[in-house]
Amino acid sequence: MSVEIGQPIPDIELLLTGNQQSRLSAYRGKPLLLYFYPKASTPGCTTEGRDFSALINKFRRQSTVILGASRDGLKAQENFKAKQQFPFELISDKEEALCNLFDVIKLKNMYGKQVRGIERSTFLIDEQGVLRQEWRKVKIKGHAEEVLEAIKAMRAAT
């Protein structure tokens, strides 16, 4: 089972930084920006998180909740969030339930070997819990701004 644009997102449990248990349904009523990154505290993932952080006030003006997700354990996510002072929660998806739901785990080449890893991806979910837009194989430069513009366009259309 994976999500498709225009379809409601299935409700699953989430483990967030701060050892918070939540569900995807808890974010209904506001746009949700869910971004997946390969590994906490790596250069690209740090840059991506900082880019979203730098625009946090603009995302908040759009009433948007941001959540970052990876397969890292809760402690790694806690350390990453604290060190970078991210103003949003991170999801620890060690069991890969969320990753599988959004089909972000792909075979990647790393040093000549095939490894399973997260393909950098972002998903925009509307106030009703419906997937409205997705970005796969994300290039970090300019991505946060592009997503912000998509949220503004989505909100203007409603």
Active site residues: 45
Closest CA to 98 of 31, 5, 2, 32: 2
